[in-house]
Amino acid sequence: MSDIKKIKDEFLHKLSEDLNIENVNQIKSELFGKSGKISNFFKNLGSLPPEERKKFASDLNFVKDELQEKINKKIQEIEIREINSKLENEKVDVTLPERDIVRGKIHPVSQVIDEISSIFSEIGFSVEEGPDVENEHYNFTALNTPDNHPARDMHDTFYLDDKKELLLRTHTSPVQVRTMLKDKPPFKIIAPGRTYRSDSDQTHAPMFHQVEGLHIDKNINMGHLKGCLNYFIKSFFEVDKIKMRFRPSHFPFTEPSAEVDIGYELKDGKIVIGEGDKWLEILGCGMVHPNVLKNVKINSDKYQGYAFGIGIDRLAMLKYGINDLRAFFETDYRWLNHFGFDPLDVPSNYRGLSR
Ligand code: PHE
């Protein structure tokens, strides 16, 4: 018994000192670990004469419980001390001014691309993409625009090498070619993206945006094209009736080709879409030229269809009353704050973009 008492006194004393959690764990294993002091006593119980065993075992259990309890208390003490010191050090100063939340706005062009994509997706078009840096073949030749074709001059192309093989795409039409080479007909796609031409004034920027449309299947005709564009323009401008006219035009990759104007009038200096006797050109379109289909190995006796290319920036300007195209690309935060769109999940404490 005196051995157990000695151990008990020794460890109770140790446990009354200033300890951290590692020290306590150390003590715990010295006492109750595999070859801990108390554990050893338990192991040796069997070798005691039966008359001593019972008493010794009961004393040993008492000591064990006492030490165990002391250890638990100590651990609790240490934990409370740690929490208190954390609270002390991490005090929040509620008198500090709040930090401003700086939140971006969605650019009108991105907003309009989303709107266009969702309108066309409702009538079965999927979205394709192509690279901004395009090769001459996809941008012109495969689209039935041979080397000496005057349409090449119309496009004021930015070439990227002396051989004029690489260029910044002048329209989204090369995505037609890429899509048709990749898969088998039918095709029903739109392809929004950036396009480039060496041009700059109030209504032209060297970089602008188009959305290409392509629908190829058996028995597709110009009536489908008209119906599709009519549906799109009405949905986009959120009007029930639209005045629309197809003007004969020329593109090397469509035959026949047309440019589409929509009717508008000016009311108190504002453009009202769908009424009046003024006309505004918004897109080029036509039935895909058999040569284009031949270039992508599609039998034009079996399959045909329409294509269109819409100027996205112009649609955005019309719908949201923006009169200078160049402002789109000047990254002026005041402009974006005014014409931009809020993301859906605006927090309740949002107070606008602060700069
Ligand atoms: N790619 C033409 C342009 O940029 C528009 C267009 C697309 C015309 C598809 C017809 C068919 O002007």
- The share of the chain scoring above pLDDT 90, in percent, equals 65
- 329 assigned to some structural domain: yes
Indicate whether 174 and 129 sit together in one domain.
Answer: yes
Distance CA 101, CA 254 (A): 51
Cβ contact 75:21 at 8 Å: yes
Indicate whether 75 and 170 sit together in one domain.
Answer: no
Please name the residue whose Cα sits nearest to atom 12 of ligand 1.
Answer: 284
Q: pLDDT tens for residues 221-259?
A: 999 999 999 999 999 999 998 999 999 999 999 999 999
Indicate whether 129 and 83 sit together in one domain.
Answer: no
The pLDDT of residue 93:
84
The pLDDT of residue 354:
42
Domain residue limits at 79 = 2-89
Indicate whether 9 and 143 sit together in one domain.
Answer: no
- Residue 295 beta carbon below 6 angstroms from any ligand 1 atom: no
Distance CA 227, CA 246 (A): 12
Those residues with Cβ within 8 angstroms of residue 107's Cβ, 6 or more apart along the chain or in another chain: 328, 336, 340
For residues 267-294, average pLDDT = 90
Those residues with Cβ within 8 angstroms of residue 88's Cβ, 6 or more apart along the chain or in another chain: none
Please name the residue whose Cα sits nearest to atom 9 of ligand 1.
Answer: 308
CA 221 to chain centre: 36
Q: What is the DSSP string of 156-223?
A: ---BSSTTS-EEE-SSSTHHHHHHHHHS-S-EEEEEEEEEE-S--BTTB-SEEEEEEEEEEETT--HH
The pLDDT of residue 154:
67
Distance CA 11, CA 37 (A): 11
- Cut 0.75: pTM above it: no
For residues 184-212, average pLDDT = 92
- 102 assigned to some structural domain: no
For residues 10-34, average pLDDT = 92
- 173 assigned to some structural domain: yes
Q: Label residue 218 by pLDDT band (50, 70, 90).
A: very high
Poorest-confidence range of 16-25, 265-274, 331-340? Answer: 265-274
Indicate whether 58 and 206 sit together in one domain.
Answer: no
Which residue(s) pair with 126 in the sheet?
Answer: 189
- Residue 167 beta carbon below 6 angstroms from any ligand 1 atom: no
- 324 assigned to some structural domain: yes
Name which of 186, 183, 171, 184 is nearest 130 in CA terms: 171
For residues 117-145, average pLDDT = 96
- Residue 177 beta carbon below 6 angstroms from any ligand 1 atom: no
- Residue 284 beta carbon below 6 angstroms from any ligand 1 atom: yes
Residue with more model confidence, 324 or 60? 60
* DSSP-based three-state secondary structure for 307: strand
Q: Label residue 345 by pLDDT band (50, 70, 90).
A: low
Indicate whether 161 and 301 sit together in one domain.
Answer: yes
The pLDDT of residue 146:
85
Name which of 241, 225, 259, 236 is nearest 117 in CA terms: 236
CA of 113 to the centre of ligand 1 (A): 17
- 354 assigned to some structural domain: no
Indicate whether 231 and 145 sit together in one domain.
Answer: yes
Indicate whether 267 and 145 sit together in one domain.
Answer: yes
Instruction: Flag whether pLDDT at 355 surpasses 50.
Output: no
Distance CA 353, CA 355 (A): 7
- Residue 254 beta carbon below 6 angstroms from any ligand 1 atom: yes
The pLDDT of residue 269:
76
- Calculate the average pLDDT of the chain: 90
Q: Label residue 102 by pLDDT band (50, 70, 90).
A: confident
- Residue 311 beta carbon below 6 angstroms from any ligand 1 atom: no
Instruction: Flag whether pLDDT at 215 surpasses 70.
Output: yes
The pLDDT of residue 326:
86
- 116 assigned to some structural domain: yes
Domain tally, the chain:
2
For residues 247-272, average pLDDT = 91
The pLDDT of residue 158:
92
For residues 274-303, average pLDDT = 94
The pLDDT of residue 353:
46
For residues 144-157, average pLDDT = 80
CATH code, domain carrying 306: 3.30.930.10
Q: Label residue 275 by pLDDT band (50, 70, 90).
A: confident
For residues 137-164, average pLDDT = 87
Name which of 339, 321, 303, 217 is nearest 267 in CA terms: 321
Instruction: Flag whether pLDDT at 136 surpasses 70.
Output: yes
- 209 assigned to some structural domain: yes
Give kind and range of the element (H or E) at residue 245.
strand 244-251
- Residue 144 beta carbon below 6 angstroms from any ligand 1 atom: no
CA of 325 to the centre of ligand 1 (A): 20
- 288 assigned to some structural domain: yes
Residue among 228, 246, 249, 253 to mutate when testing ligand 1 (max atoms within 8 A of CB)? 253
Indicate whether 26 and 152 sit together in one domain.
Answer: no
The pLDDT of residue 1:
53
Specify the pairing of strand 126-127 against strand 187-196: parallel
Distance CA 201, CA 50 (A): 109
Indicate whether 198 and 131 sit together in one domain.
Answer: yes
Indicate whether 171 and 216 sit together in one domain.
Answer: yes
Cβ contact 172:131 at 8 Å: no
Indicate whether 190 and 333 sit together in one domain.
Answer: yes
Of the residues 62, 89, 116, which one is the last residue of a structural domain?
Answer: 89
